[in-house]
């Protein structure tokens, strides 16, 4: 999940996971300082989903240093390797859609708001939103979900989640591949596989899923594997991560994501 500081990313992540996985507060100062992941099993009765949500800091806020932004981007790639199924751009419909958010959002595809009165029509709220947000929704082929993170009804919470999962499943089916990947993700996956093999030799009884979880934990906790992933990405792109951040900002890193999720 991405979005400006205070947009409601953490609260939305909690709504998706149906539990309090991330610290959340509606504030101009970010509660989330580093990329963090949360997991939960969602059983629809017909299918079980292992939901993994990655909460990110306000990567597009000017207060973050380039080196910190770069590190968090690398960490996010490591945590979501071999690739994400979806990127969710969080925009609160209760506030004005700013030019900064518009510029950022044009590089991402999945959009959902996190505040709406239950008696309102979702379509009407979007129709009444600024033209810039309407254009973004159209660019996303009308893929949006409106989350009310203050709901107390379990049935209503599940209904919101069901809508999101249906959109992601349909998008994956249309793309003809299970997840997004590019050369950066491939390089990251190579390093993760090397680390998983090291762990496998240390403990031959570890299951593949446990190996993956252990390595993700190491990346999330700034373990040594993180620097290896970063070096692999930097070597591939001739420091393209830090260069892109300095020259044009984080969105430049995700043009490939936009083209894939925009199919």
Q: Is residue 74 part of a domain?
A: no
174/195 same-domain check: no
Which of the residue ranges 19-33, 91-105, 122-136, 240-254 would you say has the lowest mean pLDDT?
Answer: 240-254
Q: Is residue 76 part of a domain?
A: no
d(CA 45, CA 74): 36
Q: Output the pTM of the full model.
A: 0.73
Report the CATH number that the domain containing residue 46 is assigned in CATH: 3.40.50.300
User: pLDDT at position 71, please?
Assistant: 76
90/30 same-domain check: yes
Q: Is residue 116 part of a domain?
A: yes
User: pLDDT at position 132, please?
Assistant: 72
User: pLDDT at position 41, please?
Assistant: 93
117/41 same-domain check: yes
158/210 same-domain check: no
What rounded mean pLDDT belongs to the chain? 74
Q: Is residue 71 part of a domain?
A: no
Q: Is residue 69 part of a domain?
A: no
pLDDT tens digits, one per residue of 76-117: 888 888 888 888 888 876 555 555 555 545 444 333 333 333
Q: Is residue 67 part of a domain?
A: no
170/89 same-domain check: yes
Domain boundary among 178, 203, 236: 178
Q: Is residue 100 part of a domain?
A: yes
d(CA 171, CA 167): 6
Neighbours of 5 (CB within 10 A): 18
Closest CA to 187 of 124, 113, 238: 238
Whether 145 contacts 160, CB under 8 Å: yes
4/133 same-domain check: yes
Mean pLDDT score, 119-135: 66
47/134 same-domain check: yes
pLDDT tens digits, one per residue of 15-29: 999 999 988 765 444
User: pLDDT at position 66, please?
Assistant: 63
Give the count of domains, the chain.
2
- Whether the per-residue pLDDT at 251 is higher than 50: the answer is no
Domain boundary among 122, 151, 178: 178
Domain boundary among 178, 195, 212: 178
What is the DSSP-derived secondary structure letter of residue 106?
A: T
247/170 same-domain check: no
Domain that holds residue 139: 1-58+85-178
Q: Is residue 80 part of a domain?
A: no
User: pLDDT at position 250, please?
Assistant: 45
Residues 67, 69, 70, 74, Cα dihedral to 10°: 140
Whether 72 contacts 57, CB under 8 Å: yes
23/142 same-domain check: yes
Whether 54 contacts 76, CB under 8 Å: yes
First to last CA, the chain: 19
9/96 same-domain check: yes
109/228 same-domain check: no
153/243 same-domain check: no
User: pLDDT at position 8, please?
Assistant: 87
């Amino acid at each position: 999940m991405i979005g400006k500081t205070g947009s409601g990313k953490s609260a939305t992540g909690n709504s998706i996971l149906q539990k309090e996985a991330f610290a959340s507060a509606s504030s101009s100062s970010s509660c989330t300082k580093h990329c963090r992941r949360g997991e939960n099993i969602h059983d629809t009765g017909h299918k079980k989903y292992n939901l993994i949500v990655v909460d990110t800091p306000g990567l597009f806020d000017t207060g973050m240093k380039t080196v910190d932004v770069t590190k968090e981007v690398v960490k996010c790639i490591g945590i979501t390797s071999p690739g994400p199924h979806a990127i969710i751009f969080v925009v609160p419909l209760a506030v004005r859609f700013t030019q900064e958010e518009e510029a950022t959002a044009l590089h991402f595809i999945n959009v959902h708001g996190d505040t709406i009165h239950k008696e309102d029509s979702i379509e009407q709220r979007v129709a009444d939103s600024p033209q810039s947000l309407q254009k973004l929704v159209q660019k996303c082929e009308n893929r949006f979900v409106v989350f009310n993170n203050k709901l107390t009804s379990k049935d209503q919470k599940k209904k919101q989640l069901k809508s999101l999962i249906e959109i992601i499943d349909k998008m994956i089916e249309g793309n003809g591949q299970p997840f997004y990947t590019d050369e950066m993700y491939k390089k990251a996956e190579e390093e993760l596989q090397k680390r998983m093999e090291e762990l496998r030799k240390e403990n031959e009884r570890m299951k593949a899923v446990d190996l993956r979880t252990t390595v993700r934990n190491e990346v999330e906790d700034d373990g040594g594997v993180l620097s290896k992933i970063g070096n692999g990405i930097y070597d591939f792109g001739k420091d393209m991560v830090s260069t892109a951040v300095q020259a044009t900002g984080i969105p430049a890193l995700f043009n490939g994501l936009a083209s894939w999720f925009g199919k």
